[in-house]
Structure formats: C-alpha cells, structure tokens
A and B are shown apart, each in its own frame.
Chain A
Amino acid sequence: MAIDIPRLPLGDWIEGGLDYLTTQFSAVTRGISHVTQGGINSLNDALMWMPAWSLIALIALLCWRMSGVRLAVGSALGLALIWNLGLWDPMIESLTLVVIATLVAVVIALPLGILAAISNRFYAIIMPVLDFMQTMPAFVYLIPAIPFFGIGSVSAIFATVIFSMPPAIRFTTLGIRQVPKELIEAADAFGSTRSQKLVKVQLPLSLPTIMAGINQTIMLALSMVVIAAMIGADGLGNEVWKAIQRLRPGDGFEAGIAVVILAMVLDRLTQSFRKTKKAQ
C-alpha cells in the first residue's frame, strides 16, 4: 500500500555543494585559516605572557571601574580558583576563542543588522536565515568546518561565529527599528542624510539594545567554544572532553566550573557596560 517515493538525496546534495565550495575556494579558506590562526596565536601568546596574577588584577580593576566592588572581588576570586586548579592556560585559550569569534561575529552582524533595519526586503530574507542558523543543532556546524579549515581552532571559530552571530544581528535590527518615529521625523525634517540619521540618531539610541545582543553573542560563543573541543579546539572544552574519555568526573566538573566562572565574568562585565551606557 505504501507508495514508493524515492528518498531525496538531500544529504548528497549538501555534501556535493560543500565539496564544490571546499575545492573552489581552497585558496580563500586557506587564507582565512592562516590569518585567523595568526590572530589566535598572538592573542594567546599575549595573554599567557602576562603572569596570571596581573591579568586577574587587570580584570578585577576593569570590573571595579565598570560595575563595582562586588563584581571585582567576585571575578578575582573566581579567576584565582581557576588558576589554583591548574586550568589557567585552557581558560586563556577558551577566552581567546571567544574574543576572536565575538569580534568577527559583531563585525559581520552590525552591517547586516543595520541593513535589515533599513530595508524591509533584506529583513524578509535574513530573518528565516537567522532562524535556521539558531535552530540547527550546534554540532552540525562543526562538520563542514573541518573540510574548510581542518581540525583545530580555526574551525572552532568558524562554527562559533555562525552559531553566535544571530542575536547580534537581531538586536541591532530591533534596536534601530525601535527608535521612536518622531525622532526619525525630526532628523528628516532638519535635512539629515541617511548616514547622518544613522550615525547621529539611530545608532546612539539603539546602542543599549545592540549591547544586549553582543552580550548574547558572547554567551553563545562561549558555549560553542566548549563544544568545539570535539573538532580539536583547545581550551576548557578540551579538558571536559579528556575527562569524558578517561571517565574522570572530578576533572570534568573542575573544567565545567571554570567555564561557568568565565561565563559569569564575561556576562556581568558586558552587562555593566550596557547599563552605564544607558545611564548616560
């Protein structure tokens, strides 16, 4: 009774497309790989060259300036614990991946978000794409990353950027679209050009919302960077991965707690930045 519909070779098509991209753009991907790896290495080297205590002091100072004594003390204690557990270097590696992935994601997301805010057509195109990017299980991005960039940190960055970019785009678009209509009218009435309107009115007013998006991006990037240990990314994720393979729950939890501490410091710090911006 069952009608025999041939199975769609969807996977084959996707693979064919990926193969095509890998071979056709190998020069490009190799270039990107080279530059990204260089960036990762130098940031890693710089952060690891600093003695752990000095970096802790620096972050605590930043927390104190941006937020207050509580965050400063909390961050310092948390980071000191990571150091004490011997997870300092993996933590720095994870931090580097998060920082670089976030930078790349934001640099791509801001213009796309602005475009989506201005153009209804582009908005209609990009929103389903963002839904797709966010609902696709994160692991799946790891697979095509390997043929493009090989095993290692660059692939991790690639997958992380894709996974963490949507909120930055969404919030940028939302922030700009939320600017009250009267203010846009006022800017127009005085004869602002489109770019004057953007730079002098729309972007400053949407900054708190954009910062909320960047905060989300950082959090997603951190979670992805941990998962990316599966394709050979260094960092805390790698420690968790090793603990799983050796069945050592203690080590696993230690690394996991370090991830939580790093996440909390990054989250509170970026949120406090957003709040001080809003208060101004």
Chain B
Amino acid sequence: MSESQTTKIQVRGLSKVFGSQPKKALELRDQGLKRPEILEKTGQTLGLSNISFDVKEGELLVIMGLSGSGKSTLIRCLNRLIEPTEGDIIIDGENIPKLNEKELLQCRRRHFSMVFQNFALFPHRTVQNNAEYGLEIRGVDKAERTQKARDALKQVGLDGWEDAMPSQLSGGMQQRVGLARALANDSSVLLMDEAFSALDPLIRKDMQQELLELQHRMKKTTIFITHDLDEALNIGDRIILLKDGEIVQIGTPEDILTNPADEYVARFIEGVDMSRILTARHAMRPVRATAREDDGPRTVLRKLSENGLDSIYVTTRERKLLGLVDADAADQAAKDGEQSIKAILHDDFPRVGPDEPLNNLFAMFNEKSRPIAVVDENQRLLGVVVKGAVLAELAESGER
C-alpha cells in the first residue's frame, strides 16, 4: 500500500451503451440526462458512463456496487468480453478498445486471468486440466504447463486433487480451482467477478483471508467485483463505488467510511458507526498459529512460513500469552545457532480485553500494523483483531 506504485491500467472516459443507437444515447448523456431518462427517450440502456480510474501495480482494487450498477459490465469491458462503446483502457501502453482481433487475443492471454462468480470450470476436464487451460491454449508445452498448474493448485491448497473432476468438489474447492486456473496463467492482472459471492459465509471469509495472503505474497494486480460492502472493506486496498453506471467515490476503506462522498455512499455505510457498542470480541478472529515457549527459532520459522505470517504469538501450554516473535529476529537467532526464542520475545504490540470498544482499537494499530491481541483476565490468548476486520465488523453491523 505504498504511494510510489506505478500505474498498471488507465481507464479514461469509458462508456457502454446497450442497444442499437449508442451515439444517440451518449449525446443525451452529454446533455446531462441520466440513465432512466435516456432509456425512456431512446430505448438504449446506458450501462457505463464516462468511467475513469487508475489501477496501480500490485494493488487489490475493489469495484463495488449493487446489482445494475454496471460493475459486471465494467470488468468485462476491461478484457472486452463486452465491447465498450467509447473510451480508452490502457495497459502497458496498449489501448485495448483499439486492438484488432488477433492483438486482443494476445492481450487477453498476456494480461488477464478471470475468476467467475459461478466458477465456470470446464466440467469435462480434471482439476489439473482446468488449471492448465490458459497455458494450453497459449501453446505452452506439456511438461511446463503441468508443473505450473501443479504449483498453482498447491498455492490454493488443492494438491492431491489434480485428478478429481470439478463436480466432485465442494463450492469452495471449485472456486479454488477457478483461482488456480487464473494463477497458473501467470498473467499480469487478475479479474475477479463476484468470485466469492456464491460461497457460503464461513467459506467466503476464509477465501477472502486466503486471497489477501496470496495477494500479499504475489503482489498481483487484482480487480475484484463485489456487491458486498463487508467484503469490499475487508479486502480492498482501494474501493470504487459504482452507482447507475457512474463512479460515486474512489478511496481507501477508511476514506469511504469516514468521508462518504455523497448521500448514496452515506446510506450505504449508514449505521456503521456502531463502534461504541461493538467490542473487540465481535471483531476478533481465531489465531491461526502460535508458537510454544519451548520452540526453537527453526520451528518458529517453519510455522511462520507455513502460515505466511511475519510475526507469531508465543504462548504457554495453557495458551497464556508470553509475547511476540518477529520473523527477522527468529531468522537471525537461527543463524546465530540459538536454541531458544526467549531472548527475542518482545511485548511491542497492543493487547486488549475482549470487552474493549471497537472505536478504541483504531488508534492502537501501530505503524508496523501489528494485529491486536485479545486476552482474557488470565492473559490467555483468545483471538486477534486485524485492521480489516474492525472495518468489516462495523460495516456488517451497519447492515443488520
């Protein structure tokens, strides 16, 4: 989330009219008419109107809107599954709407992988062959694509399922295949169209978390479509709010929560100011991995890398919280041949009780953005609160 990111995609003045007389509709739009009037006068549907935004290299950009807001149209215009009516989409110097058929094919192969709401796995292909699809049509040779697909399946935790057919898998696992198919392709941009909307809430949360970790590891530029504010706040580096085919606000989750651009956004996040009623207990999540006081630095390192963490809590057998170990300190200790982690244990992280109000937590996220440990009166570790979770919890309670 640093500020010095380069721009990956520039979208300028993108519009889409569904119908046979797009020019007429755009003229009326330029006269200041809105979607319903244009529909009434011309029978043309203004799907997107004058959309401009940048996508930065390596960011996770969420495009959020209710159904009919044009978000699916927007993501499909990017790789021209839907032909835009006017506007520029520039990726690495190429203007996508201007490409001919052959160039478009190459552009799709090189730049875009897509994950779909209803998975869209090929039912006649095994999990492995699904993951290979993008490479196969590019003509990558068998050995290489087998390896890459295997790696991608491993990334999403599906090793051992290569020979299964998609119909044998649960919804969550099917979408992992969908994600692996996109990752194996090694394209520069990941397009996710309501990718988690068809999953049940628990699995959905898991998948969001995993996507965040993947994103953290791979730094892949990702455009994620959702209709769910909770999801948007939880995973987005930045959020674009779309309404009736127009952008209402672009900003970080905090921007949108604290500084809604207009009434529409405000209504969206209405009631989100529940922070005084909600407590740390609501927003905390189970700790995925902890280290024991008698673990050596190498064990700690393994746990860190297995879970993709950069620091880990250390507890006693009774889960009493002793402190935190950072990855670089553990690494150094391992190199120095230390046998114990006691020396590198530190206390430099916030800890709160489960009844701490959420609005007090905002201030506690320190610069290293360490998560907040939630402990009971006996200092036993109950859970952990990450920044995104606070916002998500607030957003969710706003909807109730």
- Assembly CA distance A165 to B253 (angstroms): 61
Q: Which residue of A lies closest to B139 (CB)?
A: A196
User: Residue A190 contacts which of B106, B114, B118, B121 (CB distance < 8 angstroms)?
Assistant: B114
B 97-139 contacts with A by CB, 8 A: 105-109, 112-114, 116, 118, 120-124, 133-134, 136-138
- Assembly CA distance A188 to B120 (angstroms): 12
B170-206 vs A, CB cutoff 8 Å, 1 = contact: the mask equals 0000000000010001000001000000000000000
Task: List, in ascending order, chain B residues with CB within 8 A of A192's CB.
Answer: 137
Q: Which residue of B lies closest to A188 (CB)?
A: B81
Task: List, in ascending order, chain B residues with CB within 8 A of A59's CB.
Answer: none
A 224-280 contacts with B by CB, 8 A: 280
- Assembly CA distance A185 to B191 (angstroms): 13
Contact B137 A189 (CB under 8 A): no
Contact B109 A191 (CB under 8 A): yes
- Assembly CA distance A188 to B116 (angstroms): 12
- Assembly CA distance A201 to B81 (angstroms): 17
| Least distance between B190 CB and chain A CB atoms (Å) | 11
Known: A182-B118, A185-B81. A190 touches B134 (CB 8 A): yes
- Assembly CA distance A196 to B191 (angstroms): 22
A77 at the interface (CB under 8 A from B): no
Known: A182-B118, A196-B137, A200-B137. A189 touches B108 (CB 8 A): yes
Task: List, in ascending order, chain A residues with CB within 8 A of B134's CB.
Answer: 190-191
Contact A191 B106 (CB under 8 A): yes
Residues of B contacting A: mostly = mixed
Contact A186 B124 (CB under 8 A): no
Contact A191 B120 (CB under 8 A): no
Task: List, in ascending order, chain A residues with CB within 8 A of B185's CB.
Answer: 190
Residues of A contacting B: mostly = helix
A205 at the interface (CB under 8 A from B): yes
Task: List, in ascending order, chain B residues with CB within 8 A of A200's CB.
Answer: 122, 133, 136-137
Contact B137 A186 (CB under 8 A): no
A175-196 vs B, CB cutoff 8 Å, 1 = contact: the mask equals 0000010110111111111001
Task: List, in ascending order, chain A residues with CB within 8 A of B221's CB.
Answer: none
A86 at the interface (CB under 8 A from B): no
Task: List, in ascending order, chain B residues with CB within 8 A of A186's CB.
Answer: 114, 116, 120-122
Task: List, in ascending order, chain A residues with CB within 8 A of B121's CB.
Answer: 186
Task: List, in ascending order, chain B residues with CB within 8 A of A185's CB.
Answer: 81, 114, 116, 120
Contact A191 B137 (CB under 8 A): yes
Q: What bracket does the count of chain A residues touching chain B fall in?
A: 10 to 19
A16 at the interface (CB under 8 A from B): no
Contact B123 A189 (CB under 8 A): no
B45 at the interface (CB under 8 A from A): no
Contact A193 B120 (CB under 8 A): no
Contact A193 B81 (CB under 8 A): no
Q: Which residue of A lies closest to B82 (CB)?
A: A185
- Assembly CA distance A204 to B124 (angstroms): 7
Task: List, in ascending order, chain A residues with CB within 8 A of B138's CB.
Answer: 191
Contact B108 A190 (CB under 8 A): yes
B275 at the interface (CB under 8 A from A): no
| Least distance between A156 CB and chain B CB atoms (Å) | 38
Most buried by B among A189, A196, A204, A205: A189
Known: A185-B81, A196-B137, A200-B137. A190 touches B113 (CB 8 A): yes
| Least distance between B329 CB and chain A CB atoms (Å) | 43
Q: Which residue of A lies closest to B119 (CB)?
A: A182
Task: List, in ascending order, chain B residues with CB within 8 A of A201's CB.
Answer: 122
Task: List, in ascending order, chain B residues with CB within 8 A of A205's CB.
Answer: 122-124
Contact B112 A189 (CB under 8 A): yes
The 3 closest A-B CB pairs, nearest first, are A191-B109, A191-B108, A182-B120
Chain B residues at the A interface, C-beta cutoff of 8 Å: 79, 81, 105-109, 112-114, 116, 118, 120-124, 133-134, 136-138, 181, 185, 191
Q: Can you report 13 residue pairs joining A to B where beta carbons are below 8 Å apart?
A: A182-B118, A186-B122, A188-B81, A189-B108, A189-B191, A190-B108, A190-B113, A190-B185, A191-B105, A191-B108, A191-B109, A193-B105, A205-B123
Chain A residues at the B interface, C-beta cutoff of 8 Å: 180, 182-183, 185-193, 196, 200-201, 204-205, 280
A180-B120, A200-B136 known; 6 new pairs, CB 8 Å cut-off, are A186-B116, A186-B122, A190-B137, A191-B107, A191-B138, A200-B122
